[in-house]
Structure 1
């Protein structure tokens, strides 16, 4: 067998490049490193990231992350040398030059586990190793010889996965009235006997109980708006009454989040409710959209030759994971977020149901489907952890009516407006239209894969029911009017084909013509313009497109009716599986009918009077000058109106909660952005301020000598501030272009100081992995955009400084301009900015012992926006040099406090700072 220690190992960072051969490690140049990996299989950790550091993105080698995914599928790993050493119980490298030796030790440790009887993930290993060997996986020569052939045939994946079972519909929840003493007793059991008293949490739990009382009004749920500052403990505060009500009423409570990070946190907290993991798995279920889960039929197609090259290797590693996964969630679940990145996302999206082509009971793996199992488990669960979009979509589309949420807790409630805005919007674009064509028609020409059209999915109906078969054939013929493959190339070349492509070509011409007047056409970014004052060609193109869409809608409506009639007639071939498949087809058809109807309503607007409830506009989507989509868009001016009608009013009880629900303003802002203003009665309110000592633990520093748009000065400011804090910095940007420019200027400088820097939209890693790395290394820093402003929970020393490039003003889009006009002009903008500042500041202090600084690089920070920060927080305007001194002092104070020395002396030179002791 090959000894891993005999293989060369390579590590590259912004600080340098090190190559180890035999027992000797040396610094090498980029060209030498690239040539060596091309000549000899070389040990790497995260090949895409290493390749980026070398300026050679096609770098390949023996990636230890791929080996980890084979040996320990569904097991968490921070994909850094430190994380690898901790996971394998190996010595931490003292310096970067020691990392190649660590890679050799880690390879040996992982390969040795294949020989060990303690290897818990042995089942299926031999079968997977043989398949990977045939695919020429680089690790195969080292892996395959170490796994002996099992004496009996392995029970592998499709035979191993458990089947779900049908159950009778759950009875309606009982009507119960909980007592406050019982709710507080449940809270005490969740927090434990050693927990310190939290009066705010107890008051929160008592207030949340009101949402679980029998409904008082026929036309409105019992509704509570609750702003609970960071540190109150709102999660357990609402879980106490929610879990008690679920147990007493035998009903289900839906807890809805906006970020995957909070979903994972809530899933972990479920062990407080049910300490036994098996019980917790039954009583607490995580629900996501279908596109998040592994599709077993797509996986089978990939394993049987549907994928080739690196994508086929990825499919085998995903199959290894699927056999040990908790729930088959590929996005935010126990599939390592870095796995798909190792394969440049080649094939990962094809393993989920992103096109809505599920054939339900017609699938051979239907009884083992992760998606179906999750949906059925949620019907019997006490707690369902979902996201805002799923809750709204299910309500709006009427799917799973027996499971329609009746008791809902919207955590991260400050995002409810944005989630509703996305859910209830309409986009008639080239990408959306071609997906509809593929759904109706299936594969065309030489296209490969498992894609099936209506005729294939409903072939038995077509042969049984003449009218249904005719509707399918008519729909397929009508779908030919939709954009086809290479539609964008034809439009750019001025050769559109069919009425929908003609419409998109006319939209593109209108957008470019209006952009030319404003000078934006040559900037390379996406373009948009109001759908106002359309000219004759646009009106005519819209009418022709509407005729074509109506011709498609009519047979789909007829087909839906025939499917419903088949269910009523119950022919001989309609067994339980066929019934389930037809019910699924009816739901899928309903979704497409609603989509086409919304498109027709949008097209009817062109040339007619404006609808004051909606905002309509046209776009040409571009990235760095490259076009990728063209479309017409319609959003509700106030999306909380359909939210109130479709989601809130049918519910029995609703809690909308957040640490920043009022967004730094008053309750009217919370009511307007949560849908309360569209309900006939007002909601109850609860407010509890954070218990943290912000005057002592935090400060806001507004740097006044960095000129807006000066990238060099901004880069220098970020570098100096990160150096002053010794890392642990979250840098927030409003533009990806500026983020990339700053990262390029400062990454090498910080690496030489031993301060790793990572960045969204730069490093080839998903956001969740970047946050895991940031959390794991107190000297690391992370640059990002909005997703990090709202979705990062990194308590402790790993996050001690937040730096914003400036005031997070809203982008001047058509939609924002319309809402600004309707919402009070600058007052509307101020409400949004205060909410963003409050969310960004909330990343800094996550627990009582945290201490840090919040820096804004803006000389023009308006004083009226400073109410976004907690009362009493010290706020100073100062130069960059003074900010560096302040940040350094804050870090020294924290270090001394951590050492038990207190922090009074270190703050002596800041005596003029208000609120500091």
Structure 2
């Protein structure tokens, strides 16, 4: 396998930095020779100091375990003997190697001087579609036994197994792929080029046939696409009991009458060509409740049905879980296609050309390597399958599909194109799964993106109005503006302009202006853009100063403000930017048209450049039009605002514009044009009524059938809602007093529940202050406190980490109010710090309030209250995810009891026990209940 000895090392330490006096508490080294694990050395190490509680909770290693262990200098000779003539391997090698080097140096030994492999880096290349490159997640994905995560012996051994797995996977890749990977690997951070050299050498000595299902085209190996064809089997109406089949194929399946009722209603609505709205509580089985009747109707009528979800993750879940189940149990065959916007798909021609460019930038190299491996496995060419770095995402912007600007025939990859294949498959599909963004794009583009359809299911429908506002709106953020415009470059930079000028010189193509004049225009534009954004930031800062204490603020820009003297510098600066953009776009468009007219036989790399430049001009024109709309036009029926953080201007500046209401757009472009639309979600009603939701999306209660299906779970027996009476009213004290009060209350609750607690906030500022007070109290040293925006990691990662620890408390805001699924005993207590009303000074809320007042309505009862109730229902829904779950919900905001509208919140959630009392009553309840 590999001619050298591989030594896989893992360390457990008292902290992250040896410079700050942190020490090793356990070390393990696994030796691999000739492709097999041959030995393992493990030892606890005395750190000469106490092990912090967090490290003890994380690793399970305590002071007692290391009390009789050797000091590091006693085992250093043994470590160096093991490492001698070996390759140092670790999962995140920078940490383990640098820590070991520091300990060796302190003990008076020479540092390790051999090569090093990083298995995180290797995982990104060999397994580019992994959800996570963390050791625990990788071992779960590969079904490897990982007995004691965060103990060095277990971590080192599983890292060794993962290393061997990846080496085997790489050996299985086509030689043409491996040769490209070897060339690129010299720019990696660890010494993996040694591994690629060896694998390629071995592969060249034993040339094998290409694996079945793979092909090599223009020097790139990729999976052969299966012909979509069509499911031509004729549909016969047969007696088929879906619930009996589910009982047979799904372990622990419980027949739910509410799910059967939902299936029947969806089937009837499609058959009668009517719209239907369904609120399906947790546990109804909503996805199958609409999928099965949609599928049955599609096969019976020959009409395709489109399913739209809120996120691409939900799309994947439907395809991988529910659709796979229906493929198993359905008495007839069917075809389902997941369809996304073309920007999700790779342009293979652009990728082929990028491989010929020498760009040593790390993220670019790593992404190219990931894509080369991914192409041998992907059948979709969809970027959502790839786990890219943030730098990789930027590089993807160059490779993504945006149609063709030159004739199809000039793209040698057109027969292999993933986007065209997805479109072709969609034409013959019974069910098309897409997302709200794609659905709304299709509406705006008059049906050019999704094959014609008349029957539609909108899942997570409570997001439809917000999605439509965002989709019909404009977002311009400073960093994206800089990224887009900087791709053009000047004649001195190796960017698009310089590359195009070389092509023009090669074929003697002339432009209307001399190239140095265009270069001067570009230089002037960059200067004007910087100045305009600086002027905009100054206006923002002036208004921000009026809001003492706030750093992240929103500033609404009204049409009146645009006419004021304060705005004049912005208007004038932006006029120069917009004028410059128009001139530059015209000059380059003329150059590209000249190249087209000349009918030159371009080389492939030159064709790819012209294609890339056309793509760039599309982005440039979009940006130009958005600038014109926002800064030079009156934006009637729109709300315009700036977001920013005063500590990092202009970098943090975001310019946003959204329509105040989208009801008319949705009614005219969607509901009147489709025969039957089913809208569903777990949270659509307020006090048993769909009125608020339907009004937001442009429907009234008379023109749509409504169905509310309550959760089959026994909330009365599994959940209690508790309202503390020993905390102050939120509006009668300062923010600081309120935070202090709930922090001490939450500490008492956390000790009673032993963690297992999710605390939901409506503002990040309140979350941060509460987290800091609870952490600094010193009363929760045995607990792991994790907070959104403070503890690193995505929502998914934070949720997973929360489930891993026994005594964990999770602090969340915004996105944590929905979509977080923590079943079982991992979550026993849900605390809502305040009722989730949107801040009244939010630009969209302000504009909506003004519109409602103009219509003679009360903004609070017509919008603020129902919106908060729906969000409250989503928050409460985090606790009970399975029929066996139990828990306590604490609502600290006493307005739920003390105001006239408070009861509307309680009436809108499933019926459960509601109690009121002080902290001692609550602790007693928790001890009895849990």
Whether the aligned pair in 2 keeps the contact of 1:427 and 1:599 (CA below 8 Å) is no
Unpaired stretches in structure 2, ≥5 consecutive residues: 17-21, 29-40, 53-71, 103-114, 729-734, 853-857
What is the SS of the residue equivalent to 1:627? coil
Structure 1 segment 866-877 matched on structure 2, within 5 A: 866-867=905-906, 869-877=908-916
1:413 aligns to 2:461 (yes or no): yes
Where 2:467 maps in the other structure, the secondary structure is helix
Determine the C-alpha separation between the residues in 2 that align with 1:472 and 1:889: 83
Per-residue CA deviation, residues 641-689 of structure 1 (Å, 9 max, x unaligned), is: 3233333333332111101112556221120222325x9x722212211
Q: Distance in 2 between matches of 1:408 and 1:652?
A: 9
Distance change (3 Å), C-alpha of 1:481 and 1:802: farther
Counterpart in the other structure of 2:152: 100
Post-superposition shift, 1:213? 3.3
Matched, 1:614 2:638: yes
**Residue of structure 2 aligned with 1:7, choices 6, 9, 15:** 9
Aligned partner (choices 845, 855, 858) of residue 880 of structure 2: 845
What's 1:262 paired with?
Answer: 314
For structure 1, list consecutive stretches of 5 or more residues without a partner in the other structure: 216-221, 489-495, 892-917
Alpha-carbon deviations, 1:436-489, whole Å to 9, x = none? 6467xx33355556x5799799999x999x9xx87999x98998599627944x
2:376 to 312, 323, 338: 323
Say which SS state the counterpart of residue 797 (structure 1) adopts: helix
Larger CA deviation: 628-637 vs 204-213: 628-637
Select the structure of larger CA radius of gyration.
2
Match of 1:66 among 112, 121, 128: 121
Could you say what secondary structure the match of 2:372 adopts? Answer: helix
Change in CA separation of 1:557 and 1:626 when aligned onto 2, cut-off 3 Å: closer
**Alignment RMSD:** 5.6
Structure 1 residue 647 corresponds to structure 2 residue 686 = no
Q: Which of 555, 568, 576 matches 1:528?
A: 555
Tell me: CA distance 1:847–1:399, structure 2 relative to 1, closer, same or farther (3 Å): same
1:760-800 Cα distance to aligned partner (Å, 9 max, x none): 32343333333344456676553322222122233333333
1:110 corresponds to which of 162, 168, 175 = 162
> Does the 8 Å contact 2:500/2:609 carry over to 1?
no
Cα distance change on mapping 1:573 and 1:455 into 2, 3 Å? same
| 8 Å Cα contact 1:230-1:690 kept in structure 2 | yes
Q: Give the secondary structure class of the aligned counterpart of 1:161.
A: strand
How far apart, in 2, do the equivalents of 1:28 and 1:629 lie?
A: 43
The verdict on how the C-alpha distance between 1:584 and 1:303 changes in structure 2, with shifts beyond 3 A counting, is closer
For structure 1, which segment, 743-752 or 227-236, has the greater mean C-alpha deviation from structure 2 after superposition?
Answer: 743-752
**Could you list the per-position Cα deviations for residues 150-182 of structure 1 after superposition, in whole angstroms to 9, with x for gaps in the alignment?**
1227777963224669999x99x9xx9x99x97
Does the 8 Å contact 2:243/2:255 carry over to 1? no
Q: CA offsets per residue over residues 356-410 of structure 1, 9 Å max, x none?
A: 8665656655544444443443333222222211211232134735625532211
Aligned CA distance change for structure 1 residues 437 and 192 (closer, same or farther; 3 Å): same
Task: Compute the TM-score of the two structures, normalised by the length of structure 2.
Answer: 0.74
| Alignment match of 2:797 (pick from 738, 744, 769) | 769
**Aligned residue number for residue 783 of structure 1:** 811
Aligned 8 A contact 1:412 1:657 in 2:
yes
Q: What is the match of residue 152 of structure 1?
A: 207
Q: 1:752 to 1:729 in 2, by over 3 A?
A: closer
In 2, distance between residues paired with 1:458 and 1:646? 45
Q: Summarize the Cα distance change of 1:159–1:313 in structure 2 as closer, same or farther, 3 Å threshold.
A: closer
| Corresponding residue number in structure 1 for 2:66 | none
Alpha-carbon spacing, 1:380–1:631, altered in 2? closer, same or farther (3 Å): same
CA distance in 2, matches of 1:819, 1:715: 34
Counterpart in the other structure of 2:106: none
Cα distance, 1:694 vs structure 2: 0.7
Question: Residues 563, 126 of structure 1: CA spacing in aligned structure 2 closer, same or farther, 3 A cutoff?
Answer: closer
CA contact (8 A) 1:614 1:635 kept: yes
Deviation of the 1:553 alpha carbon: 6.4
Question: How far has the Cα of 1:514 moved from its partner?
Answer: 3.6
Q: 2:869 matched to 1:834?
A: yes
Write out per-residue CA displacement over residues 541-592 of structure 1, whole angstroms, 9 at most, x where no aligned residue. Answer: 537846874786699899999999x99x999999xxx999999999998887
1:203 corresponds to which of 237, 261, 267: 261
Whether the 8 Å CA contact 2:88–2:117 is kept in 1: the answer is yes
- What is aligned with 1:84? 139
C-alpha distance after superposition, 1:818-851 (max 9, x if no partner): 2134342221211111111100111211221121
In 2 relative to 1, CA 400–864 (structure 1 residues): closer, same or farther, beyond 3 Å?
A: same
| Inter-CA distance 471–359: structure 2 relative to 1 (3 Å threshold) | farther
Q: Secondary structure at the match of 1:802?
A: strand
Provide closer, same or farther for how the CA distance between residues 737 and 458 of structure 1 changes in structure 2, counting only shifts above 3 A: farther
- The offset of 1:695, in angstroms, is 0.8
TM-score under structure 1 length normalisation: 0.75
Is residue 303–residue 453 contact of structure 2 (8 Å, CA) maintained in 1? no
> For 1:160, what is the secondary structure of its paired residue?
strand
Q: Aligned partners of 2:485 and 2:883: how far apart in 1?
A: 55
Indicate whether 1:792 and 2:811 are aligned.
Answer: no
Counterpart in the other structure of 2:42: 23
Cα deviation for residue 18 of structure 1 reads 3.7
Residue 316 of structure 1 deviates from its aligned partner by 2.3
Residues 424 and 642 in structure 1, CA contact (< 8 A), matched pair in contact too: no
Deviation at 1:702, TM superposition (A): 2.6
Name the SS for the 1:709 alignment partner: helix
Mapped contact 1:421–1:635 kept (Cα < 8 A):
yes
The Cα shift of 1:630 comes to 4.4
Quote the residue 1:864 is aligned against: 903
C-alpha spacing 1:318/1:4, structure 2 compared with 1 (3 Å): same
Number of the residue aligned with 2:60 = none
Distance 1:366 1:396, change over 3 A: same
- Distance in 2, matches of 1:52 and 1:736, equals 35
Distance (Å, rounded) in 2 between the aligned partners of 1:669 and 1:551: 46
User: Whole-Å Cα distance in 2 between the matches of residues 166 and 553 of structure 1?
Assistant: 44
Aligned residue pairs total 832
CA 1:832 to 1:471, structure 2 compared with 1: closer, same or farther past 3 Å?
farther
Higher relative contact order (CA 8 A, sep 6+): 1
Instruction: Measure how far apart 1:254 and its partner are.
Output: 2.1
| 1:66-465 to 2 correspondences below 5 Å | 66-75=121-130, 79=134, 81=136, 84=139, 87-93=142-148, 96=150, 99-113=151-165, 126-127=178-179, 130-131=182-183, 134-138=186-190, 140=192, 143-144=195-196, 147=199, 149-150=202-203, 151-152=206-207, 159-162=220-223, 185=241, 189=245, 192=248, 195-213=253-271, 215=273, 222-268=274-320, 269-275=322-328, 283-293=335-345, 296=348, 297-298=350-351, 301=354, 304-309=357-362, 312-313=365-366, 315-325=368-378, 327-331=380-384, 333=385, 335-336=386-387, 340=389, 345-353=390-398, 361=408, 365-398=413-446, 400-401=448-449, 403-427=451-475, 430=478, 434=482, 437=485, 442-448=488-494
1:592-650 CA-to-partner distances (Å, cap 9, x unmatched) read: 767755654444555xxx73x22234x25226444325465432111233233333333
Tell me, in whole angstroms, the C-alpha distance in 1 between the residues paired with 2:653 and 2:262. 48
Aligned to 1:889: 928
User: Aligned partners of 2:892 and 2:264: how far apart in 1?
Assistant: 42
